[in-house]
Structure 1
Amino acid sequence: MTDGSNPNDADERVLARSRFREALIRPELGGIAGIILVFIFFLLTARDSGMFGPAGVMNWSIVSAQFAIIAVGACLLMIAGEFDLSVGSMIGFAGISIAILSVHLGWPMWMAIIATFIICVALGGVNGWLVIKTGLPSFIVTLAFLYILRGLTIFAAIATTRKTIIGGVREQAEGDWLASLFGGKVLTGVFQWMGDAGWIETFSRGTREGQPVVDGIPMLIVWAIALVIFGHFLLTRTKFGNWIFASGGDAQSARYTGVPVNRVKVLMFMFTAFCATVFATCQVMEFGSAGADRGLLKEFEAIISVVIGGALLTGGYGSVIGAALGALIFGVVQQGLFFAGVESSLFRVFLGVILLLAVILNTYIRRMITGEK
């Protein structure tokens, strides 16, 4: 005797719950929800301020790209189970290194850039090596490097030029083949054509009359997109990406299965330093100068972007796409507050609130994954 119910109905309900749970634990969920809410908020409060015009979009895209570049490196490192608090100091150090080598010592710009990348990536390797060899938490090791690099940066700038801000980089970089990959713009002809066609605004007076208000896509944005694509592909489509997850999830078990955990972690520290140097080089080329205090607090902004993007602080779980969405949220909010006429200091309040909410959500997700109560 039966109750007349179809056993397939129960299977469908279980399947539906399984799909819902699978969607709920996707790392990008928080970033997707956050970016939707942020865009809705500013569409309602700053729609008529020019925030969503060509110039406005370019403004918050540039800021988002800055966050995204360093967030990619921080994301992969956090998934591997480590932190790097020296990112901000590495940005200042790399910028001063380029300026001293090119402006003060007279090196060709391309040589100064390449040398700086080699030095900074090597320092990232030292960070990782110390974490592995000493067994100390990466939080402590990289916190020490935060102060060491910042102090060395200020000392080097004052010892060589007696200044903490070194100018003349733009003139030194003019016509340099490698500098254009960090400080130039792409698709300038396309934007000029759109301006001539009336699709985007153009300047109506002065020396720039007839030129579009947005005359190209800065290389900073190109680098951000390229690094996000590379990081996502590495993490989701390669064996090394599986090694990254395994190293952060359970390092000892990963070693038993043949994963070179130490090598993975050192390489992730080096990649984080590489991303910080990309950021610094783009910044130096944009401003035409380097400052010893550049990059302040960028390490925390990168980590917050990654956490908003769904990465667990305990490692072994996260998404580069989610980190990119977290960076986009930061860029939109930072510039959106300006367009909405809100006091800019509230951006720090937003950072604190969104970090707290993200950690609470990620803790809930971790318990769902592990079955903890």
Structure 2
Amino acid sequence: MSQSVQTAPAPPEPGESPRVTPALRRRVLARPEVGSLVAAVIIFVFFLSAAPSFRSAESLFTVLYQSSTIGIVAVGVGLLMIGGEFDLSAGVITTSAGLANSMLCWYYGINLWVGAAVSLALCLLIGFLNGYLVMRTGIPSFLITLGTFFVLQGANLGVTKLVTGSVSSTDISRMDGFDSLQAVFASSFRVGSVTVWITVLWWALFVALAAWVLQRTRTGNWIYAVGGAPDSARAVGVPVIKTKIALFMTVSFLGWFVGMHTLYRFNTLQAGNGVGNEFLYIIAAVVGGTLLTGGFGNAVGVAVGAFIFGMTSLGIVYAGWDPNWFKAFLGVMLLLAVLVNLYVRRLSTTTRKAG
């Protein structure tokens, strides 16, 4: 009986470009960030043609700044979603962080660095409590952090009015430590004709650090494991509780960071700020390829999702359109991203089985 013999494809000749096999194509398309990258290119080209003022280098760096203010916290939210959880208090905690720093130092007359440290400790405690309650009670993180959201929102308004007599914090620009803190969190510098805000550099650093943790460390494996199959992860010795609590604390830390930027850029804060931003962080993560069910996504994709947010929010303004359409666009992008992510997830599963 004759047997058919399958031979491997011949290697490309010198100077010939490598063949793109169906398996390679599926492997590339199955990466979480591919869909968001394609969308970013399309949106970028669209606004280049629709808004002439969008074409300048200064406009691009303004978009990057806008993206960074969302993207920094979105990095932590993306990691948490890969770990299978949500944090609906991520938006309002940025305001809580700034208000705690501002009002504590103004009321007691202490150095702003001390207030920043106390504010950081407070935010980390909130993140710890969120994670601890989720893991110890079994209540979904959506409900736990929704409760935290309302507590912080009410505290921001109530405590600010109690201390200052209004719903905004006082101007802290003349207090000790302001200049050095502003240099760390809210400074900018010129490169030719453009202004580069330091948050853009911090954003790039946080994205690079998160990407390295996810792809190169044991902690990254734990994050994927607790999001994709927590029971199996626990069975093989993954510290599920500690990992998820650490992810909640990471979100709170990055929320504190953005709160410091907002405070030291504008010198004062409105107590009602930050409400609704938690959805922007989630949208950036989902558009960037992160699954709502956990266990799939990466930091680069989340960064691209935040960049799409920045391009759209400012591109609509540069084009002279009614900015009310921005929310409608976000809704469309979210729905499309969920459909694309579902397709990518199926493609990734097919690729792994074929391998």
SS in 2 for 1:293: coil
Structure 1 residue 233: Cα displacement: 1.1
The correspondence for 2:21, drawn from 16, 25, 37, is: 16
Among 315, 337, 341, the residue aligned to 2:316? 337
Q: Compared with structure 1, are the counterparts of its residues 147 and 177 closer, same or farther at alpha carbon in structure 2 (3 Å cutoff)?
A: same
- Does residue 233 (structure 1) correspond to residue 212 (structure 2)? The answer is yes
1:174-193 mapped onto 2 (5 Å cutoff)? 176-186=179-189, 188=190, 191=191
**Residue in 1 that maps onto 2:68:** 65
Contact preservation (8 Å) 1:64, 1:327:
yes
TM-aligned CA deviation for residue 10 of structure 1:
11
Structure 2 residue 260 is the aligned partner of structure 1 residue 281: yes
| Residue 167 of structure 1: aligned partner | 170
Contact conserved, 2:289 with 2:297, CA < 8 A, in 1? Answer: yes
Whole-angstrom CA distance in 1 between matches of 2:170 and 2:57: 30
How far does residue 183 in structure 1 lie from its aligned partner after superposition? Answer: 1.8
Displacement of 1:282 in angstroms is 0.3
Task: Give the C-alpha shift of residue 61 in structure 1.
Answer: 1.3
What is the CA distance between 1:30 and its match in structure 2?
A: 1.4
Shift of 1:162: 1.2
Quote the residue 2:143 is aligned against. 140
Q: Does 1:34 align with 2:39?
A: yes
- Counterpart residue number, 1:366: 345
The reply on whether 1:84 has 2:87 as its aligned counterpart is yes
Return the letter of the residue paired with 2:41: I
Aligned twin of 1:210? none
CA distance in 2, matches of 1:182, 1:85: 24
- Find the aligned partners of 1:252 and 1:178 in 2 and give their Cα distance: 44
2: CA distance, partners of 1:234 / 1:123: 23
Aligned to 2:161: 158
Letter in 2 for 1:264: T
Displacement, 1:364? 2.0
Shift of residue 11 of structure 1? Answer: 12
CA deviation map 1:142-189 (0-9, x unaligned):
011110110111111011111111131222266543342012224x4x
Are the structure 2 counterparts of residues 366 and 112 from structure 1 closer, same or farther at C-alpha, using a change threshold of 3 Å?
Answer: same
Match for residue 244 of structure 1? Answer: 223
Q: 1:15 to 1:63 in 2, by over 3 A?
A: closer
SS at match of 2:47: helix
Which shows bigger deviation, 101-110 or 35-44?
101-110
The correspondence for 1:114, drawn from 91, 97, 117, is 117
- The match for 1:350 is 329
CA distance in 2, matches of 1:305, 1:185: 25
**Structure 2: gaps (5+ residues):** 13-18, 351-355
Q: Which residue of 2 aligns with 1:197?
A: none
> Partners in 2 of 1:42 and 1:368 — Cα distance?
31
In structure 2, do the counterparts of structure 1 residues 115 and 4 end up closer, same or farther at CA, with 3 Å as the change threshold?
closer
Deviation at 1:290, TM superposition (A): 1.3
Q: Is the 2:74–2:285 Cα contact (8 Å) retained in structure 1?
A: yes
AA partner of residue 37 (structure 2): I
1:296 to 254, 275, 278: 275
SS of structure 2 residue aligned to 1:20? helix
Superposition RMSD in Å: 2.3
Deviation of 1:7 after TM superposition, in Å, equals: 4.1
Aligned-pair CA distance for 1:42: 0.8
Summarize deviations over 1:78-137 as a string: whole Å, max 9, x none: 001100001111112112111101223222111111110110011100000000010011
Report how far residue 366 of structure 1 moved: 2.5
2:299 pairs with 1:320: yes
Partners of 1:262 and 1:156 in 2: CA distance: 33
After superposition, the C-alpha distances for 1:268-326 in whole angstroms (9 at most, x for unaligned) are 00000011111111011111111111112111000000001101111011010000000
Classify 1:173/1:59 alpha carbon distance in 2 versus 1 (closer, same or farther; 3 Å): farther
SS at structure 1 position matched to 2:273 = coil
Q: TM-score, normalised by structure 1?
A: 0.87
TM-score by length of 2: 0.91
Contact kept in structure 2, 1:157 and 1:292, CA below 8 Å = yes
Q: Mind listing any 5+ residue stretches in structure 1 that lack a counterpart?
A: 195-199, 201-213
Q: Is the 8 A contact 1:109 1:179 kept in 2?
A: no
Give the match for residue 260 of structure 1. 239
Cα offset, 1:370, TM superposition? 4.2
1:56 aligns with 2:44: no
Distance 2:45 2:5 in 1: 44
Cα distance change of structure 1 residues 256 and 330 upon mapping to structure 2, 3 Å threshold = same
> Offset of 1:141 from its aligned partner?
0.5
